[in-house]
């Protein structure tokens, strides 16, 4: 028999390793196991056995630096050795979370009195010592058959902080951007002698009459700084272990992404998958209880849009009660667990990992979050998750290759807009808050969801503006108050190619440094065939009247007036033009310079549903939608060749009826009460927080 070439053998080895690492293609459900000093080998073994018994073959472990370096340069891995042995014994895969940002107390006084850290490394000395920790941990466990993935850290993301390492790197960032100190002084209105003399100044954050450029540069740098640090950790891991994938999980993603330095698409270059923490009790501050299912769906789409073509995970999903450790107290019900898990699966999540299986004994979350009760027995929440895991296993032939149905509609997010809204934020109205742009986007997202039409969530610098007219697309710019000249050129090309653009709110009011663009050369004048004449404050909710079609849209705070040149007028009130439509190249643009996305989010979104039903391009590839606007209903859909799965949820506390419009035939009911369905499965009576999952062909 002929011997295979060495290169071929190497490729086969990599293939075997990758299969071993990633396991099955179907979505995997698991839970964090919390390991802490004082736990016995038998206890640790029992938690891994519990996961295996519940068909949950994946877990997360924090490899706590302050638990394993017990004395200077003395490393004791016995606690985690017990965990890896138990995982190997029960066939549970470990997602190992590094904690290179929080060392033991003998390393730095900063670590005193704290059991766990959340910020990235602050000094060059900490960075150097973190390299030692990473090398120790990765070398220890890289050969374990239980190791699945390395996590760079838990929940990266923080507001800009004048740490010594950050300030040192900021100087280099400014030197590269401005070239010489004179150019910086001119841009900043300062008189620095050289770049080395630049220190952080609280005046950057004052807003109002403070100059905007230092603030914007500082926040823009912080996004680069966090990206740099995560990539630095990834490189150190790969020096020791080039075979296992790398992952990370940002958190609080329903809020302003600029304040926590998230430029998620930029992380794609060093990650194999991107995830998120989704804790409604912590992270859904701007959402009401009835919108929690919507929040889970939105975060999944945001992460998927930033990770694709790589997989995305729900890396932490709230699994237990919060007594004290959250923004609001909450204990998820079985209905919540089912709704959140099925929504994540229907969104295309590759992993759903609960926080957490067993409760901490000490510190701020002691006795909370757990899916086990205080006797270490499975709660109803854990049994619900285990039931879903069994259903996925029993239908592996569908789930293994199922993917989300593709949407021809994208809602566009802008980090430049979020940065300026953070700078000018006020607490008097939502439209003047740092989350104004995101709430405008959520207004469109919720409305499309209630029409049964899924939407992509894409960053403006990550969206494919080169889509050709052969596959027409609709992009929505919801209150994108800051745009750059490069972004405008991309947007023009998108419409020229035969696509539809919907522009609302004060989009294009400023450039990235808060220069008022309508006072200068309004960048959208060529595309719109019009300019912005004026913006007037009216009221918390104010009407915008359209004549084509005949709809009155609620807007928030402002109504913009258009100086028309050669566009078709579709909205006029009090002799003022408030909306236009214009053909441009092969495509079209609809411009309403009033925050109608915010109006829909804060008031009534039925008029917006009529508007979107009139203007958005139908998705011929998706045979599922709601028969009409169904407030409170949410649909997710997966497809595998000619088979489909739909997840229909009622996120509200009231009974709802959701009606599907489809020519497909229901083949089975995976989750829910058959008595709540009509004979053909297309009319669904949903109790409060209820979920129904159907297969179709």
Q: pLDDT, tens digit, for every residue of 21-56?
A: 334 578 999 999 999 999 999 999 999 999 999 999
Question: Residue 6: which H helix or E strand, with range?
Answer: helix 6-22
**Domain 409-615 part of CATH 3.40.50.2300:** no
Q: How far apart are CA 597 and CA 555, in angstroms?
A: 7
Per-residue pLDDT at 520 exceeds 90: no
pLDDT at 6: 38
Residue 619 pLDDT class (50, 70, 90 cuts): low
Min mean pLDDT across 4-13, 45-54, 158-167, 345-354 is at 4-13
* Mean pLDDT calculated for residue range 666-686: 97
Residue 481 pLDDT class (50, 70, 90 cuts): very high
Range(s) within the chain of domains with CATH label 3.20.20.80: 6-162+200-404
pLDDT at 208: 66
Per-residue pLDDT at 618 exceeds 70: no
- Of the candidates 256, 193, 149, which has an alpha carbon nearest to the alpha carbon of residue 482? 256
pLDDT at 622: 74
6-162+200-404 belongs to which CATH class? alpha beta
Q: How far apart are CA 319 and CA 368, in angstroms?
A: 9
Structure tokens given for 535: 């913006």
Distance from first CA to last CA of the chain, Å, rounded? 47
SS3 624: coil
Range(s) within the chain of domains with CATH label 2.60.40.1180: 625-696
> Tokens 């293609």 sit at which residue?
25
Range(s) within the chain of domains with CATH label 3.40.50.880: 409-615
SS3 692: strand
Taking CA 307 as the corner, what is the angle to CA 306 and CA 309, rounded to the nearest 5 degrees?
125
Count Cβ neighbours within 10 Å for each residue of 98-113 and write b for 16 or more, e otherwise.
bbbbbbbeebbeebee
CA distances in angstroms from 294 to 54, 288, 453, 454, listed in the order given: 27, 10, 13, 12
Q: pLDDT, tens digit, for every residue of 59-96?
A: 999 999 999 999 999 999 999 999 999 999 999 999 99
Q: How far apart are CA 327 and CA 490, in angstroms?
A: 40
Q: pLDDT, tens digit, for every residue of 108-119?
A: 998 898 888 878
**Domain 625-696 part of CATH 3.40.640.10:** no
Count the neighbouring beta carbons within 10 Å of the beta carbon of residue 525: 17
Tell me what the pLDDT averaged over the chain comes to: 94
pTM exceeds 0.85, yes or no: yes
| Whether 33 contacts 358, CB under 8 Å | yes
Structure tokens given for 101: 């940002």
Structure tokens given for 179: 């070239």
Q: pLDDT, tens digit, for every residue of 407-461?
A: 999 999 999 999 999 999 999 999 999 999 999 999 999 999 999 999 999 999 9
């Amino acid at each position: 028999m002929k011997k295979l070439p060495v290169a071929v053998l190497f490729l086969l080895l990599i293939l075997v390793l990758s299969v071993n690492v990633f396991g099955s293609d179907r979505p995997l459900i698991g839970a964090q196991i919390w390991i802490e000093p004082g736990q016995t080998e038998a206890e640790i073994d029992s938690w891994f056995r519990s996961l295996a018994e519940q068909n949950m073959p994946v877990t997360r472990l924090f490899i706590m630096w302050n638990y394993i370096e017990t004395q200077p340069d003395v490393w004791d891995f016995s606690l985690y050795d017990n965990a890896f042995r138990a995982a190997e014994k029960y066939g549970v895969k470990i997602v190992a979370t590094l904690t290179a940002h929080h060392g033991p107390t003998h390393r730095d006084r900063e670590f005193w009195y704290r059991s766990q850290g959340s910020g990235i490394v602050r000094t060059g000395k900490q960075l150097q010592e973190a390299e030692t920790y990473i090398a120790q941990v990765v070398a220890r466990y890289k050969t374990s058959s239980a190791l699945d993935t390395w996590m760079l850290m838990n929940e990266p993301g923080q507001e800009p902080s004048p740490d010594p390492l950050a300030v040192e790197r900021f100087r280099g960032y400014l030197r590269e951007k401005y070239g010489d100190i004179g150019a910086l002084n001119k841009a900043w209105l300062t008189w620095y002698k050289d770049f080395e003399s630049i220190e952080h100044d609280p005046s950057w954050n004052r807003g109002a009459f403070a100059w905007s450029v230092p603030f914007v540069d500082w926040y823009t740098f912080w996004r680069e700084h966090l990206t740099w640090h995560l990539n630095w950790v990834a490189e150190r891991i790969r020096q020791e272990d080039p075979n296992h994938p790398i992952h990370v999980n940002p958190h609080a993603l329903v809020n302003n992404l600029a304040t926590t330095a998230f430029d998620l698409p930029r992380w794609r270059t060093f990650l194999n998958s991107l995830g998120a923490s989704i804790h409604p009790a912590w992270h859904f501050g701007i959402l009401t209880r009835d919108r929690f299912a919507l929040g889970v769906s939105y975060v999944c789409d945001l992460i998927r849009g930033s990770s694709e073509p790589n997989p995305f995970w729900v890396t932490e999903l709230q699994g237990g009660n919060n007594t004290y450790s959250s923004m609001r107290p909450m204990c998820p019900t079985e209905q919540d667990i089912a709704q959140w898990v099925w929504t994540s699966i229907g969104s295309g999540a590759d992993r759903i990992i609960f926080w957490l299986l067993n409760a901490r004994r000490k510190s701020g979350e002691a006795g909370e979050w757990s899916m086990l009760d205080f006797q270490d027995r499975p709660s109803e929440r854990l049994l619900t998750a285990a039931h879903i895991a069994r259903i996925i296993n029993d239908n592996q032939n569908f789930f293994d290759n199922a993917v989300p149905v593709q949407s021809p509609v994208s809602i566009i997010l802008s980090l430049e807009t979020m940065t300026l809204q953070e700078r000018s934020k006020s607490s008097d109205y939502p439209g003047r808050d740092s989350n104004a742009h995101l709430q405008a986007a959520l207004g469109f997202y919720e409305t499309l969801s209630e029409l049964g039409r899924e939407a992509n969530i894409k960053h403006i610098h990550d969206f494919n503006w080169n889509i050709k007219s052969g596959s027409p697309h609709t992009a929505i710019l919801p209150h994108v108050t800051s745009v750059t000249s490069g972004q405008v050129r991309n947007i023009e090309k998108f419409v020229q190619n035969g696509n539809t653009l919907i522009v609302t709110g004060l989009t294009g009011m400023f450039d990235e440094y808060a220069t008022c663009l309508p006072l200068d050369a309004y960048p959208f004048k060529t595309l719109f065939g019009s300019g912005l004449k004026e913006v007037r404050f009216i009221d918390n909710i104010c009407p915008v009247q359209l004549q084509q079609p005949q709809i009155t849209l609620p807007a928030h705070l402002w109504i913009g007036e258009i100086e028309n040149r050669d566009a078709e007028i579709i909205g006029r009130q009090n002799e003022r033009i408030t909306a236009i439509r214009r053909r441009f190249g092969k495509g079209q643009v609809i411009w309403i310079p009033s925050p109608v996305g915010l109006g829909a989010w804060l008031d009534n979104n039925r008029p917006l549903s009529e508007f979107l039903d009139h203007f958005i391009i139908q998705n011929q590839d998706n045979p599922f939608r709601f028969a009409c606007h169904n407030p409170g209903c949410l649909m997710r859909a997966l497809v595998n060749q000619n088979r489909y799965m739909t997840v229909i949820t009622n996120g509200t506390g009231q009974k709802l009826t959701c009606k599907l419009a489809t020519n497909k035939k229901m083949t089975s009911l995976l989750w829910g009460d058959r008595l709540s369905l009509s004979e053909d499965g297309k009319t669904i009576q949903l109790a409060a927080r209820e979920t129904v999952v159907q297969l179709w062909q």
